[in-house]
Structure 1
């Protein structure tokens, strides 16, 4: 019962496929019937038009062109009608002023209606039959307005074709006209009409047959389609059942990837890949938690240190040190230094958050040489007695944010300064171009002859608050955010940064940025 309920669920894939198949099938049937209906309709009406054309030929078109006056039209009306009228037809003569001057209709077992001839009723120029026999209702003669008839008289050509007009009984008739007399200046019109009911009956009959056949096709199609979709989706149900059994303790389970259906195999393969990633993620979960705990601990420590110093100096001032000018200046300077350190730490953290959010920054075409030369005076002050050696290549253009690239250079040089000797330290900044595959890259290298970085720390130096030293104190201070900022900026520029280091010999940071030709 549960299985049957799920197969009838309107939200199931099987139901959606079946319903859409049903709609497509129904749409195709409607299009086919519409085409068949229009084709048959056109064919039947054209056949009726040919019947009307044949009646016009019975009247003798060349003879009609010789009737040039209104009087001649009235005199010839009886003979024209007699030649043209046939069973289930009506014929009328229209003068040049748009007035009907004669007309008759003829139906099976019915002699005349408003017409001319022996034992027939007459219209304007006829005499009614004295003893009418009980007969079917006559076929009414379609009537246009006087203006419409005048427009037909002035219309160019022989008026070939037909119109569908409703008579006084609201029944549809097929009507055709031909001019009497000269085509450019006719003396009258011949109107002949035939009931469209046989055509409509045939079309309705065809429509009823199609509706019945369509319902039968849709029922059979639904039954067959439902069965086909059920067996087609069976591998998908197997995948669903297997996935439902997987939990944290069974992440090593895998789905069969050879079911004979390409899409299901690709789905199974994708699920297996996802399970592998989830399994790997669980293995790394403890490591990530530890890194997060360490990050919170480091951030709290770095924020607490300057706050503690500021708080301590404020207490000293409140206890009376403010009255001593030397102690006051010392305390205020210390508070200023610590507040600046605190401000820098907060700004660096906010800058990292901004980079991680990938906030769009304005980038222009920049020459690396110009950026380095602009920041060079600050680097000299930062390096103090250390030597800064520039080896720059001209016209290395990149698409970059000038201020951010300057910060990258400043942070890397600052990092080199912290790890090189004050007297013998040498920091080399070099640029060059390199081709990797089909792309050209501008390469920026910052090399020092400092203490180097242990190999086990090379993969961690870009983490926030990471320090190579195991202790917290450092001669030059710092929070371990500089290289994190560098990495984030380079990533935002779609670049790459690498580091090579050897203990006791120095470190080289290499940055690759896409070069603009």
Structure 2
């Protein structure tokens, strides 16, 4: 019910579109109505003008040749005016000063008008006889007299003294270049106003009908058009944390809606991926806290136990005292190494700015060769170094990578039969040229199921969890973090009871 109400809110997209459609329809209908009204009025007025102009054909201009119309007699004037007047047309004589001289005031209904205007016979005769003669100002009459031609296309719609609208036309009397006056014909145009008013009623009715039809059709079209949008809204509103795998239909037949659905799907994919990462991080954090607590508890328990032994009197026995102190020292060293490794990982997690420059990998290995030899003890340590192997690295960090990988090889190879090889070369990885550092051993190898987990913190393969191998499962995590901070890559290949090869790809200047 709530969603249904939302569809009918005034500020909803549907009603905004519908309101816009109504405004456009209203503007179009009003514009068409005004245009049609102006066109019809112009057409009707032009038709009436032609009727009035045709009345001038009845004139005998030879009787109008007097230079001054003021000298014309009333009888002469009425004879002239009655020839052009009719039941609905009033004729007037205007001198060159713009003054009304004569108008056909007699009862023109007595005149037999065989050529009268049939369209105007509906006008009430008594009302017509009460109409006043519409007059222009003297300046306007002077302007008409000065115009070229015989004013055949000139007409005006004027109000008389009683505010009745009349159409007025004129014709010059005498010489066209220097007329002595004007004959003015005027007729009421109430019939035109009635036609226009009737047309206005018809247009208004049709406009309302068109507007209603437009609203009905617009509502139906918008409902159909916005249906996919409502579907998207309902789907998105119903998505919970457990439904992040839900995807919207991307083929709705509307480009914009399809694009919106695609954008929502991309967003849902990102949210789902972020949620899964968050869950994975939380799980790793729980596992990390558990493993760290376990690894810290072991040396602390040993230290605590030997301290209790010393407090019970073992300190008086030199052999027991030496054993206890050596054990405490060994466990404290293990504890210190664990804490230091955790601090290193914490620092690398913050992604600090690493100062890197071009270094000679072979020279770096040769610098730490004595320490590596001590680390390997009785194991065979071999070097296969190509010439001029340079890479853009942080020297100290890459030293630690070599130490950690070598120590990892030491932990998993036989003390006397073990063989470890450190090699350098150039190679191609993912279509890019890298300086390559390889550390190979002939140790126990890594099970295939554990290959993807070896860089996880505190991870140790089940075959390597004995105290004999030592370590906390942080060495390879540190290696991976350092390689990433140096913009490098690392790859591992291993086979059980055959050995393991770690390949580190370091960026060169090229």
Q: TM-score band, normalised by the shorter chain? A: 0.5 to 0.7
Superimposed CA distance per residue, residues 183-209 of structure 1 (whole angstroms, 9 cap, x where no aligned partner):
xxxxxxxxxxxxxxxxxxxxxxxxxxx
What is the aligned partner in structure 2 of residue 477 from structure 1? Answer: 470
Superimposed CA distance per residue, residues 293-319 of structure 1 (whole angstroms, 9 cap, x where no aligned partner):
433322111000111111111112222
What is the aligned partner in structure 2 of residue 363 from structure 1? Answer: 356
Paired residues for 1:284-323 under 5 Å: 291-323=284-316
Paired residues for 1:322-337 under 5 Å: 322-337=315-330
Contact in 1 for aligned 2:9/2:15 (Cα 8 Å): no
What is the aligned partner in structure 2 of residue 464 from structure 1? Answer: 457
Contact in 2 for aligned 1:14/1:229 (Cα 8 Å): no
Aligned residue for 1:423, secondary structure, equals coil
What is the aligned partner in structure 1 of residue 488 from structure 2? Answer: 495
What is the aligned partner in structure 2 of residue 513 from structure 1? Answer: 506
Contact in 2 for aligned 1:432/1:443 (Cα 8 Å): yes
* Alpha-carbon distance change, 442 to 2 in structure 1, aligned in 2, over 3 angstroms: same
CA offset at residue 491 of structure 1?
A: 1.2
CA offset at residue 370 of structure 1?
A: 1.3
What is the aligned partner in structure 1 of residue 341 from structure 2? Answer: 348
1:3 maps to 2:6: yes
Give the structure with higher Rg (CA).
Answer: 2
CA offset at residue 361 of structure 1?
A: 2.2
* Alpha-carbon distance change, 352 to 5 in structure 1, aligned in 2, over 3 angstroms: farther
Paired residues for 1:42-61 under 5 Å: none
What is the aligned partner in structure 2 of residue 257 from structure 1? Answer: 250
> Which residue of 454, 459, 465 corresponds with 2:447?
454
Contact in 2 for aligned 1:14/1:230 (Cα 8 Å): no
Compute the TM-score of the two structures, normalised by the length of structure 2: 0.54
- Once residues 502 and 284 of structure 1 are traced to their aligned partners in structure 2, the CA distance between those partners, rounded to angstroms, is 31
Aligned residue for 1:430, secondary structure, equals strand
* Alpha-carbon distance change, 422 to 249 in structure 1, aligned in 2, over 3 angstroms: closer
CA offset at residue 358 of structure 1?
A: 0.5
- Once residues 499 and 434 of structure 2 are traced to their aligned partners in structure 1, the CA distance between those partners, rounded to angstroms, is 25
CA offset at residue 249 of structure 1?
A: 4.8
> Which residue of 402, 407, 410 corresponds with 1:409?
402
- Once residues 390 and 14 of structure 1 are traced to their aligned partners in structure 2, the CA distance between those partners, rounded to angstroms, is 79
> Which residue of 359, 370, 375 corresponds with 1:377?
370
CA offset at residue 13 of structure 1?
A: 13
* Alpha-carbon distance change, 368 to 263 in structure 1, aligned in 2, over 3 angstroms: farther
Compute the TM-score of the two structures, normalised by the length of structure 1: 0.53
CA offset at residue 473 of structure 1?
A: 2.5
- Once residues 288 and 14 of structure 2 are traced to their aligned partners in structure 1, the CA distance between those partners, rounded to angstroms, is 46
> Which residue of 418, 433, 450 corresponds with 2:411?
418
Contact in 1 for aligned 2:306/2:328 (Cα 8 Å): yes
* Alpha-carbon distance change, 249 to 334 in structure 1, aligned in 2, over 3 angstroms: closer
CA offset at residue 431 of structure 1?
A: 1.0
- Once residues 430 and 311 of structure 2 are traced to their aligned partners in structure 1, the CA distance between those partners, rounded to angstroms, is 67
Contact in 1 for aligned 2:483/2:489 (Cα 8 Å): yes
CA offset at residue 516 of structure 1?
A: 1.4
- Structure 1 residues not aligned, in runs of 5+: 19-226
- Once residues 263 and 377 of structure 1 are traced to their aligned partners in structure 2, the CA distance between those partners, rounded to angstroms, is 68
Contact in 2 for aligned 1:427/1:446 (Cα 8 Å): yes
Q: Which moved more, 1:491-500 or 1:291-300?
A: 291-300
Aligned residues: 310
What is the aligned partner in structure 2 of residue 115 from structure 1? Answer: none
> Which residue of 423, 437, 445 corresponds with 2:438?
445
- Once residues 433 and 372 of structure 1 are traced to their aligned partners in structure 2, the CA distance between those partners, rounded to angstroms, is 16
Paired residues for 1:185-224 under 5 Å: none
- Once residues 271 and 245 of structure 1 are traced to their aligned partners in structure 2, the CA distance between those partners, rounded to angstroms, is 14
Superimposed CA distance per residue, residues 422-445 of structure 1 (whole angstroms, 9 cap, x where no aligned partner):
222111111111234663211111
- Once residues 258 and 489 of structure 2 are traced to their aligned partners in structure 1, the CA distance between those partners, rounded to angstroms, is 37
- Once residues 470 and 336 of structure 1 are traced to their aligned partners in structure 2, the CA distance between those partners, rounded to angstroms, is 27
1:243 maps to 2:236: yes
Aligned residue for 2:359, secondary structure, equals strand
Aligned residue for 2:247, secondary structure, equals coil
Contact in 1 for aligned 2:493/2:500 (Cα 8 Å): yes
Aligned residue for 1:458, secondary structure, equals helix
- Once residues 326 and 264 of structure 1 are traced to their aligned partners in structure 2, the CA distance between those partners, rounded to angstroms, is 84
- Once residues 483 and 349 of structure 1 are traced to their aligned partners in structure 2, the CA distance between those partners, rounded to angstroms, is 12
Aligned residue for 1:512, secondary structure, equals strand
Superimposed CA distance per residue, residues 105-158 of structure 1 (whole angstroms, 9 cap, x where no aligned partner):
xxxxxxxxxxxxxxxxxxxxxxxxxxxxxxxxxxxxxxxxxxxxxxxxxxxxxx
